[in-house]
Structure formats: structure tokens, C-alpha cells
Amino acid sequence: MTRLNRRSALQTLLAASTLPSAFGLRAQSSPDVAALLRAGGCVLMLRHAQTVAGIGDPPNFQLDQCSTQRNLSDEGRDQSKRIGQWFAARKLPVGSVQSSAWCRCKDTATLAFGRFDLLPALNSTFDSRSSQTAQTDVLRERLKGLRAGQFEVWVTHQVNITSMTGEVPAMGEAFVVKLGSASSPGRVLARTQFA
């Protein structure tokens, strides 16, 4: 690249970096997750906290036997407790906590919120995608029923969050989700790792 080409490329980059301010546009600050939840009409879709290394579950795992599943790591247990502390620090009352039947989700819910109810539509479809559409439809219908001032926490798996939002969460990451369109069942208002 010649000196003239480098200068031209640099000028283009500089112009592009100042374009938003030239038109009066500013970077948006991250949404206040607690305020969105207080406003309600939404759900907090939380991917279970950090697990021991692995993908999916070991062959022949059993839902009623945690020892046969991929479970939370020590870091994941600490992460779950920090999530609960985040809610407590904001004096944000959590009504309904729904969880997948997988132990890593139930443990995340228990350590963060002290309770949960099982919601089969939150169960993992990682090994069998045949029920994904039906599960997403159930979640969409449940989300439709949430009114202003009302939110739920759903502790689930990456596959369900991705099916609902089109986004891929990290372990321990949560999305505030409102009802979306038919092509995108859930609209992400904010995402957080409770830092």
C-alpha cells in the first residue's frame, strides 16, 4: 500500500468514526435492566450459570440423577449466588421463577432465588430438536400473558434462548425479552451478566 493509499484509508476511517456525531447521533447507554423488569410485561431469560467443561450431557444421562449430567462448576455456583445478590441489592422482588428440569438450571435457580417451578417448555432440546418449535410456541404464549408491572425469570438453556430471540447467550447471561413478531418470538430489550 502506498503512502497516499494509507493516508486515504486513514482519512476514511476517521471520517467513519465521526459520522454519528456529525449527524447528532450518540452511542446509546445500556438499558437499566432493573427498570425494565419493574415495568414488566417481559421475562428475564437466564442461561444456567457456568458448568464444568463439556457440551451437552454425557451419554445416557438421567434427568432425575444429577450425577449423570453436566453440572455447575464452583464458579457457576458462585455466579448463581451473585445473580441473587444483584436482585437483592436492587430490592427487585422476583415473583415467578421457572426452570428447566436439568440440574444445572434447577441449581442456578435455587442458588439465585431460593426456589423455582418446573416448566417443561424450558427443557433442553440440544439432543433432539424435534420439540423446539412447540416449546417456543408455549413460551411465546406464556410471555403474552405477562402484564405491565409483572415479569418472570426463566432459567433455561442456550438452545431455547436462541430459538426465542435469535441471540446466543453466554453461561450466566440473561436477556430481558418482550413479545416479538411471528418471525422473532421474543424481542431482546437488554442483556446482562449481572456485573
Query: Could you tell me if 86 and 37 are in contact, meaning their C-beta atoms sit under 8 angstroms apart?
Result: no
Which contiguous run of DSSP H or E holds residue 73? none
Query: Could you tell me if 115 and 109 are in contact, meaning their C-beta atoms sit under 8 angstroms apart?
Result: yes
Query: Could you tell me if 179 and 165 are in contact, meaning their C-beta atoms sit under 8 angstroms apart?
Result: no
In which residue are the cell numbers 462448576 written? 73
Cα–Cα distance between 72 and 9 in angstroms, integer? 48
Query: Could you tell me if 170 and 192 are in contact, meaning their C-beta atoms sit under 8 angstroms apart?
Result: no
pTM to 2 decimal places: 0.82
Cα–Cα distance between 180 and 86 in angstroms, integer? 27
Tens-digit pLDDT profile for residues 134-177: 999 999 999 999 999 999 999 999 999 999 999 999 999 999 99
In which residue are the cell numbers 427498570 written? 35
Residue 9 reports pLDDT greater than 70: no
% of the chain exceeding 90 in pLDDT: 69
Most confidently modeled of 25-39, 49-63, 97-111, 131-145? 97-111
